[in-house]
Structure formats: structure tokens, C-alpha cells
């Protein structure tokens, strides 16, 4: 039970933020479609907590990513006021400094999908399917690429079922013709950055072990 306590705490935080995000949302019609993924992941997290078949660090990475998603879902990504928040706290405007013409929050979350989800996926392949660490890293990377592509196809299918206005609100393209390709590229970049961090951490560990033997 003690091993599950951190997961239970993170799960309670997950549901608390989810509930708060649903209080007087600015776009109630689109909110529930955005939260379809949130509910599916919540079920997975509950299952993982009961089975206790994932480490606390990997579990925390999933929760961290989903918290970013929940925030974006409340404002359907395109209107997440991250620039106003940062400006009110620091007086610095990211949009003005970099000359952004669109809301970039969705770009951040796609990057974080690759960056934060690689560790949990890597551990899942290792623990659940018995893959070696090297193979697990490769499979996790390929999963992120595949999931990003499938999600973009799902968004395209959504455009066929919804009205143009609702489809645009859900997809959050904001007039960018290459939105899908950029989203997939950022997820891939996030995963590559995490793989580099893992490789660097291994190199540091080996270096310290070598120096301790001198």
C-alpha cells in the first residue's frame, strides 16, 4: 500500500484539476470532446494504481503531461492565456518577444507529449512486455511517432463529422496549413531530447563509476 500512496496522491490531484477545469468553462461545447482523452487516461491511471505495475516517476510523467492537456482542454488550446499569465507574473511577453502570431500552447503540449511520455512508455515496454532497455527506448520512440500520426488523422476525421467552426475550434490549426506536420515534428523532437537526456545521464553514471574505481 505504501508504494501506491504517491500514485493515489497524484491521482487525486489529477481529478481535482480536471473538476476545476470543468467549472464555468469558456467553451463548454468543445470541452467534453477535448476531455475524451482525459477520461481514457484517467481509467488507465486508476488501473495502473490498482495493479501498481508502473514506477512512481513514470506515473508522475504521465500526470504532468495530462495536467498540461487539461489546462489546454479548458481553453480548447487555441485560447489558453499563457502569455497573459506570464506577463502578469513577470512583466515579460513571450508572444511579443518572439513575434508569435498564433497561440503556441498546443505546440508546447505536442513537444511535451514526446518529452514526458517517453519515460512511461519505455518503462511499460520493459515491465509489461519484458523488452530490453534498448528495445524499450526504440519502441517508446516509435510509439510516440505513431500516436502523433494517428491523433492527427483523428483530428482530420473530426473535421468530416463536425461543422467547420467546431472542427477548427477542436483542431486549433489557427490558419496554419502545416499544423499537423509541425505537431508531429515537435512530438518527435521532444522524444529525441528525452533520449539525449537519458544517454547523457548514462554517460555521467558510467564516468562516475569509472572514476570511483581509480
Is residue 120 one of the residues assigned to a domain? yes
Is residue 213 one of the residues assigned to a domain? no
pLDDT tens column, 104-114: 999 999 999 99
- Mean pLDDT for 78-91 is 94
User: Which residues contact residue 141 at a Cβ distance below 8 angstroms, ignoring those fewer than 6 apart?
Assistant: 118, 191, 192, 195
Is residue 24 one of the residues assigned to a domain? yes
Q: How much is the pTM?
A: 0.89
- As for how many domains the chain has, the answer is 1
The x, y and z cell numbers of residue 39, run together, are 477520461
pLDDT at position 208 is: 82
Is residue 86 one of the residues assigned to a domain? yes
113 vs 9: CA distance, rounded Å: 22
Query: Taking 60 as the threshold, does the pLDDT of residue 24 lie above it?
Result: yes
pLDDT at position 125 is: 97
Residue matched to cell numbers 480548447? 76
Instruction: Please answer whether residues 169 and 30 qualify as being in contact, where contact means their C-beta atoms are separated by less than 8 angstroms.
Output: yes
Q: Which domain holds residue 81?
A: 5-200
pLDDT band per the 50, 70, 90 thresholds, residue 63: very high
Is residue 44 one of the residues assigned to a domain? yes
Amino acid at each position: 500500500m505504501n508504494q501506491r500512496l504517491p500514485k493515489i496522491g497524484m491521482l487525486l490531484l489529477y481529478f481535482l484539476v480536471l473538476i476545476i477545469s470543468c467549472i464555468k468553462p469558456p467553451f463548454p461545447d468543445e470541452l467534453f470532446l477535448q476531455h475524451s482523452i482525459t477520461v481514457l487516461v484517467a481509467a488507465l491511471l486508476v488501473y495502473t494504481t490498482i495493479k501498481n505495475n508502473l514506477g512512481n516517476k513514470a506515473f508522475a510523467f504521465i500526470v504532468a503531461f495530462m495536467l498540461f492537456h487539461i489546462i489546454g482542454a479548458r481553453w480548447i488550446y487555441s485560447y489558453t492565456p499563457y502569455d497573459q499569465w506570464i506577463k502578469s507574473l513577470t512583466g515579460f511577453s513571450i508572444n511579443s518577444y518572439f513575434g508569435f502570431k498564433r497561440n503556441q500552447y498546443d505546440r508546447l503540449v505536442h513537444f511535451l507529449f514526446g518529452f514526458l511520455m517517453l519515460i512511461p512508455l519505455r518503462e511499460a515496454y520493459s515491465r509489461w512486455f519484458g523488452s530490453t532497455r534498448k528495445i524499450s527506448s526504440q519502441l517508446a520512440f516509435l510509439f510516440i511517432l505513431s500516436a502523433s500520426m494517428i491523433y492527427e488523422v483523428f483530428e482530420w476525421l473530426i473535421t468530416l463529422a463536425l461543422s467547420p467552426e467546431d472542427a477548427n475550434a477542436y483542431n486549433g490549426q489557427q490558419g496554419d496549413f502545416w499544423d499537423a506536420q509541425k505537431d508531429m515534428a515537435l512530438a518527435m523532437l521532444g522524444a529525441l531530447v528525452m533520449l539525449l537526456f537519458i544517454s547523457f545521464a548514462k554517460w555521467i553514471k558510467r564516468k562516475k563509476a569509472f572514476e570511483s574505481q581509480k
